[in-house]
Amino acid sequence: MVKKQNQILVLTNDSSVFLKPGVSSAFDMFGGRVTEIKQLVARLDTASKGDCKMCEVSFAVISTFFGFVPGNYTIAPYSFVMSCKEDYELVQEKKDYAGKLAYVSTPFDKIVVCVPKDMFAILLRENALPDGKVIAVTSPDFKEECEKRGWMYLERKGARLGNENSEKVFKSIEEMC
């Protein structure tokens, strides 16, 4: 019998650094602060345990223009990138990224969330993430709420994740697999 691989989702928000002038996958489109998240995704995607792949990893972006976008979906650059609470609220109202995340996140065994504080608050308010399945890289303001929901909490350091947190996320997933 073949053991089912753990399914991991890594979620972040868009960046104003577009790496491609035309259409591209959401994974390939963004640079800047998204780079360290993409490096974690690549590390998880190529990791093995024994002679087997450690896990199946998926990447998704909450984007200003498209809302929730899986990493393999094709998108194009756009002129405005959300950067504050009001922007996150407006995009949530127009695109319902929290609702789409709630829908697609159910089959995943672990969801790594690296989004700004005010966007994280929206995800909490909308109950977009399942209890017990999240690694939240966020503000200390949410530490208690994360613990109540059975989530692993890591204080946001660096642009989105930070090297220390990246290592902690990797080790946590490695232990789970």
The rounded distance, in Å, linking the Cα atoms of 46 and 57 is 9
Q: List 123's β-bridge partners, or say none.
A: none
Confidence of residue 3 (pLDDT cuts 50, 70, 90): low
Domain boundaries, the chain: 6-176
Q: Whole-prediction pTM value?
A: 0.96
Q: Residue type at 69?
A: V
Instruction: State pLDDT tens for residues 42-57.
Output: 999 999 988 899 999 9
| Residue-level pLDDT at 144 | 98
Instruction: State pLDDT tens for residues 111-170.
Output: 999 999 999 999 999 999 999 999 999 999 999 999 999 999 999 987 789 999 999 999
Extended beta strands in 3-147, E state? 6-13, 24-25, 48-49, 52-53, 55-63, 67-70, 74-75, 110-114, 134-138
State the CATH class of domain 6-176: alpha beta
Q: Which helix (H) or strand (E) holds 152?
A: strand 152-155
Tokens 């690694």 sit at which residue? 135
